[in-house]
Structure 1
Amino acid sequence: MHFSIPETSDHKDPKSGSPYTTYVVHINGVRHCNVRYRQLHTLHEQLRREFHPSTLPSFPPKKILTLGLNQIEERRMALEKYLQLLSQDPRISHSITFNGFLLASQQETRSEKTEEVQLDVFLMNEKKISVRGLTILQTEEVLEKVCQQLQVPEEYVHYFALFLLERKEDGDFVVVRKLQDFESPYISQKSASKRSLKLVLRKASWDPKIDLELFNHNVTLTLLYTQTIAEVERGWIVANPETKRQLARLQAMGSKYEYMHTAHRLPYYGYLHFLPCVCDYPMTNTPAHIVIGNRELVMKIRTPKGEIKEGSFKVTKMRCWRIMTVAKGMTSDEFNDTDPEDSGSKLELSFEYLMNNQELQWITIISPQAILMSLCLQSIVEELLRVRSGIAIKKAGEKSCSTEYLFQRKDGVVQKFPIRSGLHSAQHKNCGNGNPTIPKIDPKTLSSLTGRQYSVKKLSEKFDVVNFREAARAAEDVLIENEAFFEMKDDEP
């Protein structure tokens, strides 16, 4: 997760009239919630009771006197760093307490009632699957409800995920982001009111060998078939005219299995395509088209002669990467689900790559989808290391716990909030009593549940961080180091 607190917002208490400050938390480049200092302090105290205090980062201390502008800015930066450090520990970032806080804060910020609603999820052919549940139903719960309706086998459910997708008037589509379990799909979709976004079920795995296994079950075969047809029509999967005619014949005959085995061998099958962007390779301000999949990032550029050339950057040769942003004119007067593309922000993804001459070189991509690119790279690394370790992906509902989280609202009132988290065993004795504790989990099980096998280092050790209020700052004061760079070979499975 990419955490940042790029700004603050001033408010008055509706009862007392006293002024107070809220901190605008962005997760993965999107505004998630407004929270007060005392709410984050309560979260810290809850985590201290759940985890050993030595495992937690230090929390910014309380102040006796009213804070001035400089002190508020210092606290903003300290709270941002605190959340970033929390998110680096998979035990914490997947805990009931942390996810409960994020989900409840999203609901409070958006002023959503807890009530039953219908949520529509689409396949890539516009087929609609409707599920009913509370407005605060988490992403994994919605995913499992949808897959249950489709009769996806439990062991295959988490090879798929829910995405927010924007369809253009000309039939084109853009994958905006992948939904995470700390958020409510209903609230997240509703918050994106300025854009017509749909909840879409798509494949979330990257290794083409995984797809070969999914081909053997009719339901998962159909899901992949539906997505592949859309990507062939969109031009994401490259096929010559003869192959396109062959695919069209197989589609007309309803030969899904044969269609998929043909498409599976085509260039860019299973890759995610991004909007046009600018990179500094091979030279600065080079227009580029980025696609990510099958353990690589591919950069397509047009030469001065009009030729299209492609450069492949293997994920296993990326030593690390970072996200930076330069934002313009962002205010919090109206709290909308602003994504970087709408906010005027310039985002950049930079990665350090081992070139063929064995020299490390930084390569930068400037794109409103830079954070989505970063999350894709992280997901590929997680899958690589999970497959290498021989760890099976978790089944639907496996090792999950449903309980109640005690959430302190901005007005100080404490409310009970239903929450489910994947690190707690459903059979654990404290599950469901409102005061959950973490059972002992061996490293192999932890890897299978979280996939978090990459480490994070302080970006400030290598790069300067510029103040946001001067119109330029680091969105993520972290550097993501890819352990697969050291541990994996390109020819490993």
Structure 2
Amino acid sequence: MHFSIPETDIQVDEKGLNFRSYSVHINGILHCRLRYRQFHSFHLELRREFGPLIPQFPPKKLFTLNETEIEERRLNLEKYLQLVSQDPRVSNSSTFNSLLVSAQQETRKENLENISIDIFLLNEQRININIQTVEQTDSVLSKVCSQLNVPEEFQSCFSLFLIRRDFDGDITIVRKLQDFESPYISQKALSTTSTLMGDKEDSGPLRIVLRKSCWDSSIDDSLLSETSTLNLLYIQTVAEIERGWIQATEDIKQQLALMQAKGAKRQYMEIARNLKFYGYIVFRPGLCDYPEPHSRATLALGRSCINMRLYTPSGEIKEVVFKVTRIRCWRIMTSGKPLLNPGAKLHSDQEAKLELSFEYLVAADKLEWITVVSPQSILMSLCLQAMVEELVRIRSGEKDPLKITKCNTKHNKRVQMESPVVDDGCKGPVDYTVRKLAEKFSVVNMKSASTAAENVLVENEVFIEMVDSNSLHSL
């Protein structure tokens, strides 16, 4: 999760008294507005359950804060949230996520009600389920999967995404829904933003869509052996081939069309799995500073790679593949560069002009920073995190799809000061580490952090393993 508190605001309570709120953005979107005392209550709840795992809370001041002190408190609260969310034993806990959902509900002023909600597949199939307005993502996902007869051990291989289908047929993956939020509230909040991510005026509705979210190809072997998950992968693959996200020659398309007509789903998938960009997420075009500044880039992430199709200002077209195992670290930052649609109005719920920067091992003794400017930068970062986590678990010998795709934690409530019990799905206290910029890689040519959206970077555990084992030559 990417936490930031970019701003504060003066609001009025039910008694007509002014108070200061802090705007908490998660993964680039306004999630909630909290008062200092609400942050403190949040801290006390976490401290009761996790004890010393929770960092110190920014202290209360005796007197009214001046502007300098307000800014200091904003930064300290932002740092506190970033530190708390580092450890998956905390950030994956029901307590942590329930508190964030409650804060989202209060900020959006949503009442607790029983409703029905539509979840879509990529072929436009609609699944209607009954939920509560504040029901968390994992619960909604479980209900959808159960209705589709997906076995419990495979449910973590799928996720709910907010996807916008424009009237011209274009599709944008806007956001991966996570357990700290209510899908209903998030969809409703973001649907009111007509210019989300620089959207065109003819943008269509924002839908909640079920799609595969695991990355390692070995997991597909298990998914294809089960009828319900084979059907889901087949539906997604057909849609992505038709859309051009998965590339196929005309001959292959004809073969696939024959198999589709016969209903030979398994045979269809065996051919499709070998096609270019199968298992990838394709992103909208962005800007890149590689191989030269202001290069237009179409990105796709999958198979432990970042694939870029680059259109340079000098007129060259290049395709470059960056292996995840060569990425030393990455971070999300705000950018002073314009987006592709500079005339688009920005909404207060959005982080504008985001960029993803990653430090890449271009040669055995050379690291280079590469930057992509895209409204989908945070989604890219979450995809990289998920890829690395899967690689770590697979390299540790894990074969169970449930444990490869999801870190499960169980807390020992009998002894409050003990650390939570971590099962084999986590393989240790953290699957990837988040560090303040000043604490790590000080000898590396770091970019200035003065514009950092969240003064943190994500360190790639897989890269460190490779370096430590002196196996750079095999990257």
Q: Structure 1 length as normaliser, TM-score?
A: 0.84
Take 1:124 and 1:491, find their aligned partners in 2: how far apart are those partners?
40
Take 1:19 and 1:61, find their aligned partners in 2: how far apart are those partners?
21
Which ranges in structure 1 are unaligned for 5 or more consecutive residues? 329-334, 400-421, 431-435, 467-472
Q: List aligned pairs for 1:205-284, cutoff 5 A.
A: 205-284=214-293
Amino acid at match of 1:390: G
Take 2:86 and 2:44, find their aligned partners in 1: how far apart are those partners?
18
Larger mean Cα displacement after TM superposition, 252-261 or 20-29: 252-261
SS in 2 for 1:174: strand
Take 1:214 and 1:492, find their aligned partners in 2: how far apart are those partners?
29
Take 1:122 and 1:255, find their aligned partners in 2: how far apart are those partners?
23
Question: 1:412-432, CA deviations, whole angstroms, 9 ceiling, x for partnerless residues?
Answer: xxxxxxxxxx6336xx776xx
Match of 2:198 in 1: none
Take 1:490 and 1:259, find their aligned partners in 2: how far apart are those partners?
37
Take 2:448 and 2:474, find their aligned partners in 1: how far apart are those partners?
37
* TM-aligned CA distance change 1:73 to 1:393, over 3 Å: same
SS in 1 for 2:269: helix
Larger mean Cα displacement after TM superposition, 108-117 or 87-96: 87-96
Q: List aligned pairs for 1:33-432, cutoff 5 A.
A: 33-53=32-52, 55-192=53-190, 193-195=192-194, 196-302=205-311, 308-326=317-335, 338-340=349-351, 345-391=352-398, 392-394=400-402, 423-424=409-410
Amino acid at match of 1:110: R
SS in 2 for 1:447: coil
SS in 1 for 2:238: helix
Amino acid at match of 2:51: H
Amino acid at match of 1:389: S
Cα offset, 1:211, TM superposition: 1.2
Larger mean Cα displacement after TM superposition, 17-26 or 307-316: 307-316
Cα pair 1:88 1:456 within 8 Å, conserved: yes
SS in 1 for 2:95: helix
Question: 1:361-397, CA deviations, whole angstroms, 9 ceiling, x for partnerless residues?
Answer: 11111111111111110000011111122332438xx
Cα offset, 1:440, TM superposition: 5.5
Take 1:348 and 1:356, find their aligned partners in 2: how far apart are those partners?
24
SS in 2 for 1:51: helix
Cα offset, 1:127, TM superposition: 0.6
Cα offset, 1:464, TM superposition: 4.7
Amino acid at match of 1:394: L
Amino acid at match of 1:481: E
* TM-aligned CA distance change 1:226 to 1:458, over 3 Å: same
Take 2:423 and 2:42, find their aligned partners in 1: how far apart are those partners?
28
Take 1:233 and 1:6, find their aligned partners in 2: how far apart are those partners?
40
Cα offset, 1:52, TM superposition: 2.5
Cα offset, 1:155, TM superposition: 1.1
Cα pair 2:50 2:419 within 8 Å, conserved: no
Cα pair 1:280 1:365 within 8 Å, conserved: yes
Cα offset, 1:491, TM superposition: 11
Cα offset, 1:32, TM superposition: 0.3
Amino acid at match of 1:219: S
Take 1:241 and 1:374, find their aligned partners in 2: how far apart are those partners?
34
* TM-aligned CA distance change 1:276 to 1:373, over 3 Å: same
Q: Percent identity between the aligned chains?
A: 52
Question: 1:432-467, CA deviations, whole angstroms, 9 ceiling, x for partnerless residues?
Answer: xxxx9587655553606x99411111124556544x
Cα pair 2:309 2:320 within 8 Å, conserved: yes
Take 1:91 and 1:357, find their aligned partners in 2: how far apart are those partners?
35
Take 1:492 and 1:178, find their aligned partners in 2: how far apart are those partners?
32
Amino acid at match of 1:130: N
* TM-aligned CA distance change 1:327 to 1:18, over 3 Å: farther
Cα offset, 1:476, TM superposition: 1.4
Larger mean Cα displacement after TM superposition, 319-328 or 220-229: 319-328
Take 2:291 and 2:432, find their aligned partners in 1: how far apart are those partners?
28
Match of 1:11 in 2: 11
Please report the RMSD computed on the Cα atoms of aligned residues, expressed in angstroms.
2.6
* TM-aligned CA distance change 1:307 to 1:228, over 3 Å: farther
Take 1:446 and 1:208, find their aligned partners in 2: how far apart are those partners?
18
* TM-aligned CA distance change 1:337 to 1:383, over 3 Å: farther
Take 1:270 and 1:278, find their aligned partners in 2: how far apart are those partners?
23
SS in 2 for 1:103: helix
Cα pair 1:43 1:97 within 8 Å, conserved: no
Q: Structure 2 length as normaliser, TM-score?
A: 0.87
Take 1:337 and 1:146, find their aligned partners in 2: how far apart are those partners?
32
Cα offset, 1:303, TM superposition: 5.0
Match of 2:342 in 1: none
Question: 1:252-307, CA deviations, whole angstroms, 9 ceiling, x for partnerless residues?
Answer: 22111111111110111011111111111111111111110000001111356855
Take 1:104 and 1:165, find their aligned partners in 2: how far apart are those partners?
24
Cα pair 2:422 2:429 within 8 Å, conserved: no
**Does residue 447 in structure 1 map to residue 458 in structure 2?**
no
